[in-house]
């Protein structure tokens, strides 16, 4: 991803920037705020004790041990315009950075982008089953969800699931769909069972 500094100097970044992306086909703009910390932070130390106990050693790994930067919101959100961001960055003294163009509101095009990346990586990844989950469908009507699903199926998706991470709707169907593509037993389980069977066999004896 090529970054272009609309405001600021790429050779001398301030450490706090508004980063935005534009749709190549519409006037839509999404943005996030990136902050680079001068001192890396072990965020695991600041977790509530109960959560830290549940995560155990995973706390640092999951939450970013030695974290030196973060973006808020984690996923860019829709904003008014680039002009609005330019005024805001100038007022606040932030860098304003363009991340280029992204396809917004077109799930089929987004899926094709992912497929292209998988094909470029190789190793047969592009040939594996493609299950697509459309999240936050609790915030949209059923007609829109069906329209997106039809587009994705026409674009090559094997199955499309309308889900909501907030309400849990559709999650059971999604998990069932994933399980339908998995083998009954993994190779590790099969090998372990063969070893157990061999251990159960009595020692050979001619008598």
Q: Once rounded to an integer, what is the mean pLDDT over residues 176-185?
A: 80
The per-residue pLDDT for 93 is: 96
- Of 116, 164, 171, 103, the closest CA to residue 138 belongs to 164
CA–CA separation, 25 and 82 (whole Å): 15
pLDDT tens sequence across 72-126: 887 788 899 999 999 999 999 999 999 888 767 678 877 887 778 778 877 777 7
Residue 61 pLDDT grade (very low, low, confident, very high; cuts 50, 70, 90): very low
In 27-171, beta strands by DSSP E: 29-41, 67-79, 95-101, 131-134, 159-162
Residue 117 phi/psi, 5-degree rounding, is -65, -40
In the chain, beta strands by DSSP E: 4-7, 16-22, 29-41, 67-79, 95-101, 131-134, 159-162
The per-residue pLDDT for 166 is: 81
Spelled out in words, what is the top-level CATH class assigned to the domain 107-179?
alpha beta
| Lowest-confidence segment of 8-22, 58-72, 74-88, 162-176 by average pLDDT | 58-72
The per-residue pLDDT for 139 is: 72
The per-residue pLDDT for 80 is: 93
Domains in the chain: boundaries: 4-101, 107-179
For residue 64, pLDDT beyond 50? no
Structure tokens at 40: 């890396």
- Pairing state of beta strands 95-101 and 67-79? unpaired
Quote the DSSP letter at residue 166. T
Q: Once rounded to an integer, what is the mean pLDDT over residues 190-202?
A: 56
Distances (CA, A) of 140 to 30, 103, 143, 144, 148: 19, 19, 8, 7, 11
């Amino acid at each position: 991803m090529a970054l272009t500094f609309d405001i600021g100097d790429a050779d001398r970044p301030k450490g706090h920037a508004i980063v935005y992306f534009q749709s190549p086909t519409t006037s839509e703009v999404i943005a996030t705020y990136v902050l680079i910390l001068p001192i890396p932070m072990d965020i695991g130390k600041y977790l509530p004790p109960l959560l830290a106990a549940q995560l155990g050693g995973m706390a640092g790994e999951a939450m970013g041990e030695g974290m030196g930067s973060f973006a808020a919101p984690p996923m860019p959100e829709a904003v008014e315009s680039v002009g609005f961001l330019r005024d805001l960055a100038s007022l606040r003294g932030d860098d304003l950075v363009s991340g280029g163009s992204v396809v917004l509101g077109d799930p089929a095009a987004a899926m094709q982008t992912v497929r292209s990346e998988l094909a470029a990586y190789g190793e047969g990844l592009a040939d594996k089953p493609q299950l697509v989950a459309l999240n936050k469908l609790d915030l949209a009507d059923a007609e829109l969800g069906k329209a997106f699903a039809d587009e994705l199926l026409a674009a090559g998706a094997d199955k499309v699931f309308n889900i909501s991470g907030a309400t849990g709707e559709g999650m059971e169907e999604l998990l069932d769909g994933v399980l339908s593509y998995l083998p009954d037993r993994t190779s590790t389980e099969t090998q372990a069972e063969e070893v157990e069977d061999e251990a159960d066999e009595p020692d050979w004896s001619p008598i």
